[in-house]
Structure 1
Amino acid sequence: MSFLLETTTVGLLNKFLEGTLFEHKLIANNIANIDTQGYKAQTIKTNNKFTALIDSLENTQSSASTINRVKDWVPEHNIQTDSTANKIELEKELAKLSKNVIHYQAILSAKSKLNNMLTLAIKEGKS
């Protein structure tokens, strides 16, 4: 039964949640080290691997193969330090944190709506 609910979309949303959580931890670490001498803010450099995954999924015929490909996919988190900044700017980090929280909430909302649609489909549209 759980295989029926394991869709490519759910897998992708879970990967998005993992990435957003990772970024949240990175920003929180920057804020925690705001007074640490010599500490440079860390950011994640995004890559185009996600785009490559989407392109490869569009060319896949089998849904089981697609689900497995999404499960096996691990996003790369290229952490970079801001070598030009002398000090971490709290306002900048708080803005990034707020943006990240909004992304996280949007992904959770999408997962909830998808779950509602699957539940409705299983119940054949009956309340």
Structure 2
Amino acid sequence: MFKSSFNYINLINKALDGSWMKNSAIASNIANVNTPGYKKETVSFEDALRTEMNLNTGVKMTKTDDRHLDPYNSGTIRTEKVYDTRYRVDGNNVDVDVENAELAKNTIYYNALVTEINGQYNRLKTALRINK
């Protein structure tokens, strides 16, 4: 029970890290909305989280060709610049309305994760009190 609980807590922790990085990228985008030539930053941590979830289930993947992606090193969360769009003549591609909507969505997601991890810790505390 405890091993699966701590694996779940570690997974939520990784999701919190990704959500925090995404929040920082969105804040940077909003701060640079009027900077000529600025390219917005994005964080896609959902793929890294899915990879982490697959690693925790015990499903082993084998790399059979050098051209295949390595399933064990793809779980890193990183910030990337978006160069393929342009909204203004000065080259800036930040749409403040889209960024504010993403910020609201990410804030709700982060708060839900915090609530979930708090609930998990409370369940563990209750289980430890019962077993005394």
Question: What TM-score do you get using the length of structure 1 for normalisation?
Answer: 0.74
**Any residues of structure 2 matched to 1:19-30 within 5 Å, and which?**
19-30=18-29
**Which consecutive residues of structure 1, in runs of 5 or more, have no partner in the other structure?**
61-72
Higher helix share: 1
User: 5 Å matches for 1:61-76?
Assistant: 75-76=76-77
**CA RMSD for the aligned pairs?**
3.0
Tell me what 1:18 maps to.
Answer: 17
Shift of 1:10: 1.2
Structure 1 moving runs of 4+ over 4 Å: none
Contact 2:47-2:75 within 8 A present in 1 as well: no
Query: Residues 34-87 of structure 1, C-alpha deviation per residue, up to 9 Å, x if partnerless?
Result: 110111222124564433332232227xxxxxxxxxxxx962325131431224
What is the match of residue 108 of structure 1? 114
- Alignment map for 1:83-98 (pairs within 5 Å): 83-86=84-87, 87-98=93-104
Change (3 A) 1:29 1:81: same
- In 2, Cα distance between equivalents of 1:45 and 1:119: 33
* TM-score (norm. length: structure 2): 0.71
SS in structure 2 of the partner of residue 7 of structure 1: helix
Q: Which residue of 1 aligns with 2:62?
A: none
Matched length = 113
Distance 1:90 1:116 in 2: 39
SS of match in other structure, 2:42:
strand
